[in-house]
């Protein structure tokens, strides 16, 4: 029996010809497409960072989903550039089927392939299903996964530990965090809830590299509705930890492809701050390994004057 890949294992992404042989008519395996942005990694070696046993679906705070198969992994640092999807800025961690990877004893030199093989692979990979609906791993996420029941979530948390994604102690910490905030919401409501019916907007026109300070939670609450949203963007409990801190803007966010729909959603007055990652454990049992970014409305920030 061949051992499943585990975090820390070295793999090489197979060549275009081998990958092409694994794909169905949509350029996918079981609803996970091999995207054009992945072609550049063919022949290169990477470490496995996680076995992906479950994933959050952005846009829903409680939508933890399980993969229908057990052969999906993440590789260290590999995110989708969005270059073949009209510049989508979601920067999703790329899902890799084990059929697209070759196990290695350690890192190795890159392999190269004839241009015609790469061209044939690219010609099979679609990026849209219509003029307004995109086709990618995010758009197909709901088809590749299924909603988890309460007991499924417990089972997946155990699998996460057994797969080497996290330690038992860290998983207990994740569960404790989730339990605390679930009780909080039931007894007291959303942590950062406000009283607005229509939430306000502020434009700072921030650019990458600028320094900002996250406003105090008391001020941020004034921008939120009773569900702790500002124009559809949730201020999660973990984001309170950044209040009062000075951080650097990594990039301005203007468009992302929505999980499950393939719609390109336009964003305004929204940025990503360096190192600001989703605190999934606060809203999802056992957290997940997808590594989503946290999005910040400019109204929650104030520009730090340059010296």
- Given a cut of 70, whether residue 17 has pLDDT beyond it is yes
- Residue 288 has what pLDDT? 83
Q: Is the pTM of this model over 0.95?
A: no
Model confidence pLDDT, tens digit, residues 27-50: 999 999 999 999 999 999 999 999
E strand map for 27-69: 28-29, 32-33, 45-51, 54-56, 64-67
Alpha-carbon distance of 259 to 137, in angstroms, equals 8
pLDDT tens by residue, 72-119 = 999 999 999 999 999 999 999 999 999 999 999 887 888 889 999 999
Instruction: Tell me the mean pLDDT in the region 208-213.
Output: 96
- The backbone torsions φ and ψ at residue 68, rounded to the nearest 5 degrees and listed phi first, read -75, -15
Question: Is 114:247 a contact under the CB 8 Å cutoff?
Answer: no
Sorted by where each begins, the domain ranges of the chain are 10-162, 211-303
Alpha-carbon gap, residue 175 to 95, rounded angstroms: 25
Q: What does the alpha-carbon distance between residue 88 and residue 107 come to, in Å, rounded to a whole number?
A: 31
Residue 304 has pLDDT above 80, yes or no: yes
pLDDT, tens only, 222-268:
999 999 999 999 999 999 999 999 999 999 999 999 999 999 999 99
68 pLDDT tier (thresholds 50, 70, 90): confident
Query: What is the predicted pLDDT for the residue at 307?
Result: 65
């Amino acid at each position: 029996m061949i051992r499943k890949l585990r975090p820390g294992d070295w793999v090489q992404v197979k060549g275009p010809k081998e990958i092409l042989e694994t794909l169905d008519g949509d350029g996918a395996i079981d609803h996970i497409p091999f995207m054009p942005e992945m072609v550049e990694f063919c022949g290169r070696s990477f470490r496995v960072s996680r076995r992906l046993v479950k994933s959050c679906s952005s846009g829903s705070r409680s939508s933890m989903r399980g993969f229908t198969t057990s052969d999906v992994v993440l590789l260290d640092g590999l995110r989708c550039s969005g270059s073949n999807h009209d510049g989508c800025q979601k920067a999703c961690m790329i899902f890799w089927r084990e059929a697209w990877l070759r196990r290695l004893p350690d890192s190795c030199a890159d392999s190269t392939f004839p241009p015609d093989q790469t061209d044939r692979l690219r010609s099979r990979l679609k990026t849209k299903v219509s003029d307004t609906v995109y086709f990618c791993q995010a758009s197909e996420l709901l088809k590749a996964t299924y909603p988890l029941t309460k007991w499924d979530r417990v089972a997946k948390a155990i699998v996460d530990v057994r797969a080497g994604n996290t330690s038992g102690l860290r998983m207990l910490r994740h569960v404790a965090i989730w339990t605390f905030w679930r009780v909080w919401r039931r007894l007291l409501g959303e942590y950062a809830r406000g009283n607005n019916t229509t939430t306000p907007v502020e434009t700072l026109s921030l650019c990458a590299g600028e320094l900002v300070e996250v406003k105090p939670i008391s001020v941020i609450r004034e921008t939120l509705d009773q569900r702790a949203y500002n124009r559809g963007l949730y201020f999660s409990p973990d984001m309170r930890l950044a209040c009062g801190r000075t951080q650097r803007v990594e990039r301005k966010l203007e468009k992302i492809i929505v999980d499950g729909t393939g719609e390109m959603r336009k964003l305004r007055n929204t940025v990503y701050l360096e190192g600001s990652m989703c605190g999934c454990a606060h809203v999802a049992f056992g957290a997940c390994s997808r590594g989503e970014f946290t999005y910040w409305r400019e109204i929650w920030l104030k520009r730090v004057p340059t010296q």
